[in-house]
Structure 1
Amino acid sequence: MTDIAQIVRGCAAKAKQAAPVLAAASDEAVDAAIGEMAARLSSARAHVLTANAEDVAAAEAAGMSGGLLDRLRITGERLDDMAEQLRLLASVPHPEPSRVVGVLDGGFELVELRKPVGVIGANYEARPNVTIDVASQLVKSRNAGVLRTGSAALRSAQALLSRVVAPALSDVGIDEDVVQLVPSPDREAAGALVELPDLIPLVIVRGSGETTRELDRRAAQHGVRTLAHADGGGVLYYDAKADPAFAEDLITRSLDRLGVCNRLNLLLVHKDVYDQALPGIQDALATVGVSASLPPHSHPVGYEWALDGEREATVTIAVVDDLAHAARVANEDTSGLAAGIVTTDAAAAEAFFAAYTGTGVFWNAPTRLLDGFKLLGVPETGINLDRVPGPRGPVTFTDLVLRQYAVRPARAV
C-alpha cells in the first residue's frame, strides 16, 4: 500500500470510529453544531479569507482560467451567504427516523427505518465552499465523512475544517473526528478514496470531465457506490413562439457565472426564427462577454465550455427543426443535466417537459436554478444525473440514508 493510500485509510478509520457518536446525537445537538459552524464563519473570517487569498494567488500564478478562479474564490459576500445557508439548514426539520408502512398478515406491522450510511467520502476540486456544503449535509444526516480536495483549494479547505467545522462539532459534544479532510493534494488520494468499501461504502464525486468518470469506474470495480457528477452544461431551446426580448434577457441571466455546470452551454434555435433571432442573441451574449460557436461546428454539439479554460466564454448555437428535434438533441447529445424552453406557448412548454428526460427541465427560467439551495432551500452535496432509481438531481441530507424494513408485532390502538 502506498503512503497516500495509507493516509486516506487512516482518515477513513478515524471517521468510522467516531461515526457512532454522531449517529446517536440528538436533533438539537446536530442543529446546534451546524449553527455554530455559521457563527464560526464570522469569527474565523479573517483566517479563512487569508487562506483562500493564498490559494487564489497560487492558482493565478499557475494560469488557472477565469471561470475556475471564480469557483475557487471566497469573497466576504460569499462567506456571508455560506453562513446564511448553514443557519437555514440548521432550522430545517429532521425527517422522522421511522414510519409505519402497513400491517402484514399474522398481526405484524411493517415499519420503514432511516439509518445513516456510516462514512461517506467526497471528492471535489477547486471549490472550497463545497467543504462546508458537504460537511454540514453529512452532519445533518448523521454520517461521518472523508473529504478530499485538490491542491488549488487545499489551504481554504483546511482553514474551513480546522477553524469552522471541527470546533463547532467539539463545542456541542460531537467527536470532531467524524469529518476528516485528506491532508495531501496528491491525485492518488482521489483513487484511494473510492477503493475502501469496508470503510467508505459511498463516495460523492463532484467535478466534471474524464477524471470524475474514471473515479466512478474505479469505484464500481471495488464495490463502492458513487453519487457522481462528471458532466454538465445547460441547454436552452429558443422556440418559434419565443418573445425575443425576454429570450435575450434569459440568455444573459443564464450566463452570470461561466465556470459552473448549470450555466447556458448550448442554445438550440428553431429554424423558422433562426435568421431573425441570431443578431439579438449575439448582442445579448456580447453584453456578458460571451461569444457564439456557430454552425458548422468543429466540436460535439454538447461540448461543455465551462471545462475549457481557453474558451469558457462561449455558447454553442445550433439550428433545430422543431421542438421534438430540440428535445432529442438535449437528451442524446448532452449530459442530461438541465434543459429549458423559452416560449409564450404553454402547450409547447408542456410538450418539452414531456419529451426531455434529463435531471431538470425549465420553462422561461434559467437552468442556473438547478441547485440544491435555489430549488430545495438547503445546500447540496452534488447533482446526481443517474437515470436509475435513487436520488437524482440536487442531493441533500435527506438522501444520504439507508432504508431498512422492520417487522414487529402490530401495536394495539
Structure 2
Amino acid sequence: MSLLVETNVEAQAIEAQAIEAKKAAKVVSLLSTSEKNDILKHVANTLEGNVSHILEANNKDLEKGREKGYTEAYMDRLALSEDRIADFANGLREVAELEDPVGDILSNWTLENGLQVEKVRVPLGVIGMIYEARPNVTVDATGLALKSGNAIVLKGGSSAINSNQAIVEVIHKALKTTAIPQEAVQFIASTDRKATQELFTMKEHIDVLIPRGGGSLINAVVENATVPVLETGVGNCHLYVDKDAEVEKALSIIVNAKTDRPAVCNAAETLIVHEAWLKENKEALIDKLKAQNITVHGDEKAVAIFPGAEPAGEEDWANEYLSLDIAIKVVSDVDEAIDHIDQYGTKHSESIITESKETAERFMKLVDAAAVYHNASTRFTDGGALGFGAEIGISTQKLHARGPMGLPALTTVKFQMTGDGQIR
C-alpha cells in the first residue's frame, strides 16, 4: 500500500472516530450532574485498579525515550508512577465534586409580549485535544470534557503513545458499564502528522480544538486549523524584583518559581532585577542560585556580577528553558521591566515582588498576561492550585476563555425562548 493510500485510509478512520464522538456527545449532554459525577468516580476507581497495566505501557515509552536521548525534563513529563496515577484519579474525583456549569441560567428576562428569554450554559459538543508528552492530560481532559457534557477526541504525542493508549483502554473499560458510551472518548493512535492534521479541518464534526504543548505544536494548530481553536500558550514567565522588594520574600519566591517543578509552563524562566536591589543583595541571590544549581544566562550587567554566568543571546530572552536555567536582566525601573516582558513574554504568568503598592499596581495593570502576581510565585497558574480541579490547559488568548481553563471554559451559551404563540 502506498504512503498516500495509507494516509487516506488513516484520515478516513480519524473522521469516522470524530463522527462517532459527535453521536456520543448527544448522549453525554443529556446526563444529569449526579450521573456524570458517579461515572467520573467509577473511572477513577478503575484507573487505580489497573495501575500495573498503565505502568507497563509507560515503561515502553520511557525506554524509547532513553533510546532517543530525551532530556531529563522531558522524561519527567513523560514518566508515570503509582503516585502520579493516584493523583490524576483523585483529580477526576475533584472534578466530580465541582459545580456543574451545564444548565446554568446566566440571565433571564421577559419581553413586553410575554416571551420568556433565558441565556443558558450548554456543552461545546466535541472537543479535539492535541497534546504532547504528559499522559496525565489524557485523564484530565477526559474528565473535564465529560463533566461539562462533551465528547472528546484525543491526539497525544508519539512519545507517550503506549501510555495514552493504555489509559484510554482503562477508561473505555470503565465506561462500558455506564450511561456514557465509550465512543465519547476517542483516541487517535496514529503517529502520522499528515493524517492527524485532518482534525484541523473537520468543522462538521469537531467544535473546538485545544492544543497543549510546545510552541511549534500550538503554532501549527493555530495557523492551519479551520476548526475554532482555544489557544493555550508556552510559559516564558518572568519575575521582576523591584527596588522595594523584601529580601527573604524575594529569594523564597525566586527559588520556588524556578525550582519547584522546572519542567512545567508556570515555572519562571527570566528574572528581571532592579539594579538598586541587586547592588544591595547580590551575594544573597548568588548564594541562593548556586545552592539550587541554577545556570545563569545574563545581560552584560548580570554576567559581571554572577560567577560563571553565560552571556544571554536573543534566544535566551525568548526561551522556555523547562530546566534549571534562568535568564537574568538588570533594569533601572519598573517600566523597563514591563517593556522587556512586552517584548519577550508569552502572555502566560508574570510576577512583581515589591512592598510598593503603587509600583505593584502599575505593573499589574500594564503587563499583558493571563495571570499577574504581586509577591507570589508564578507556580499558582494552575487549575488545581486555583480551585478549578483539573484543567484542560492555560489559555493565553483573550477570546472565550483566558488563564487556567476549567469546566466553564468547555461550555458555550444558548438563548432559550419560551412563548405562548407569540409572532413577530
The TM tier, using the shorter chain, reads over 0.9
1:162 partner SS? helix
The answer to whether the aligner puts 1:171 opposite 2:177 as a matched pair is yes
Partner of 1:151: 158
Judge which range, 131-140 or 312-321, deviates more: 312-321
- The question of whether the paired residues in 2 share the 8 Å contact of 1:190 and 1:215 is answered with no
Using the TM superposition, give the Cα deviation of residue 185 of structure 1 relative to its aligned residue in structure 2, in angstroms: 2.0
Partner of 2:387: 376
1:197 partner SS? coil
Partner of 1:227: 230
1:262 partner SS? coil
2:124 to 117, 120, 133: 117
2:413 partner SS? strand
The answer to whether the aligner puts 1:305 opposite 2:320 as a matched pair is yes
- Residues 21 and 213 (structure 1 numbering): CA distance in 2 closer, same or farther, change over 3 Å? same
* Structure 1 CA distance for aligned equivalents of residues 287 and 198 of structure 2: 48
Partner of 2:408: 398
2:390 partner SS? coil
Partner of 2:308: none
User: Unmatched 5+ residue regions in structure 2?
Assistant: 1-6, 301-311
* Structure 1 CA distance for aligned equivalents of residues 156 and 314 of structure 2: 30
Partner of 1:49: 55
Identity between Structure 1 and Structure 2 (%): 29
Partner of 1:213: 219
* Structure 2 CA distance for aligned equivalents of residues 5 and 96 of structure 1: 32
- The question of whether the paired residues in 2 share the 8 Å contact of 1:110 and 1:408 is answered with yes
* Structure 2 CA distance for aligned equivalents of residues 228 and 168 of structure 1: 31
The alignment's TM-score, normalised by the length of structure 2, stands at 0.90
Using the TM superposition, give the Cα deviation of residue 38 of structure 1 relative to its aligned residue in structure 2, in angstroms: 1.4
Using the TM superposition, give the Cα deviation of residue 31 of structure 1 relative to its aligned residue in structure 2, in angstroms: 0.7
* Structure 1 CA distance for aligned equivalents of residues 292 and 198 of structure 2: 41
1:122 partner SS? strand
> Residue 17 of structure 2 aligns to which amino acid in structure 1?
C
* Structure 1 CA distance for aligned equivalents of residues 318 and 284 of structure 2: 23
- The question of whether the paired residues in 2 share the 8 Å contact of 1:282 and 1:291 is answered with no
1:341 to 327, 352, 363: 352
- Residues 249 and 97 (structure 1 numbering): CA distance in 2 closer, same or farther, change over 3 Å? same
* Structure 2 CA distance for aligned equivalents of residues 166 and 116 of structure 1: 21
- The question of whether the paired residues in 2 share the 8 Å contact of 1:112 and 1:404 is answered with yes
Partner of 1:270: 274
Partner of 1:13: 19
Partner of 2:242: 239
- Residues 43 and 292 (structure 1 numbering): CA distance in 2 closer, same or farther, change over 3 Å? same
1:71-97: per-residue Cα shift (whole Å, max 9, x none)?
A: 111122222211221111111121251
* Structure 1 CA distance for aligned equivalents of residues 254 and 93 of structure 2: 32
* Structure 1 CA distance for aligned equivalents of residues 338 and 321 of structure 2: 22
The answer to whether the aligner puts 1:70 opposite 2:85 as a matched pair is no
- The question of whether the paired residues in 2 share the 8 Å contact of 1:250 and 1:366 is answered with yes
Using the TM superposition, give the Cα deviation of residue 279 of structure 1 relative to its aligned residue in structure 2, in angstroms: 3.5
The alignment's TM-score, normalised by the length of structure 1, stands at 0.92
The answer to whether the aligner puts 1:287 opposite 2:284 as a matched pair is no
> Residue 140 of structure 1 aligns to which amino acid in structure 2?
K
* Structure 2 CA distance for aligned equivalents of residues 104 and 332 of structure 1: 49
> Residue 212 of structure 1 aligns to which amino acid in structure 2?
I
Partner of 1:352: 363
User: Unmatched 5+ residue regions in structure 1?
Assistant: none
> Residue 125 of structure 1 aligns to which amino acid in structure 2?
E
Partner of 1:332: 343
Partner of 2:307: none
Using the TM superposition, give the Cα deviation of residue 282 of structure 1 relative to its aligned residue in structure 2, in angstroms: 3.1
Q: What number of residue pairs does the alignment pair up?
A: 401
* Structure 1 CA distance for aligned equivalents of residues 292 and 44 of structure 2: 33
The answer to whether the aligner puts 1:257 opposite 2:272 as a matched pair is no
- The question of whether the paired residues in 1 share the 8 Å contact of 2:210 and 2:230 is answered with yes
- The question of whether the paired residues in 1 share the 8 Å contact of 2:102 and 2:148 is answered with no
1:263-316: per-residue Cα shift (whole Å, max 9, x none)?
A: 011111112222333333333223332211011431246322336xxxx33111
1:272 partner SS? helix
- The question of whether the paired residues in 2 share the 8 Å contact of 1:48 and 1:159 is answered with yes
* Structure 1 CA distance for aligned equivalents of residues 379 and 104 of structure 2: 35
- The question of whether the paired residues in 2 share the 8 Å contact of 1:128 and 1:153 is answered with yes
* Structure 2 CA distance for aligned equivalents of residues 20 and 361 of structure 1: 38
Question: Which consecutive segments of 4 or more residues in structure 1 shift more than 6 A?
Answer: none
* Structure 1 CA distance for aligned equivalents of residues 11 and 321 of structure 2: 31
* Structure 2 CA distance for aligned equivalents of residues 343 and 83 of structure 1: 39
> Residue 320 of structure 1 aligns to which amino acid in structure 2?
V
- The question of whether the paired residues in 1 share the 8 Å contact of 2:28 and 2:180 is answered with yes
Using the TM superposition, give the Cα deviation of residue 200 of structure 1 relative to its aligned residue in structure 2, in angstroms: 0.8
Using the TM superposition, give the Cα deviation of residue 131 of structure 1 relative to its aligned residue in structure 2, in angstroms: 0.1
Using the TM superposition, give the Cα deviation of residue 98 of structure 1 relative to its aligned residue in structure 2, in angstroms: 4.3
- The question of whether the paired residues in 2 share the 8 Å contact of 1:206 and 1:382 is answered with yes
- The question of whether the paired residues in 1 share the 8 Å contact of 2:100 and 2:407 is answered with no
* Structure 1 CA distance for aligned equivalents of residues 102 and 22 of structure 2: 24
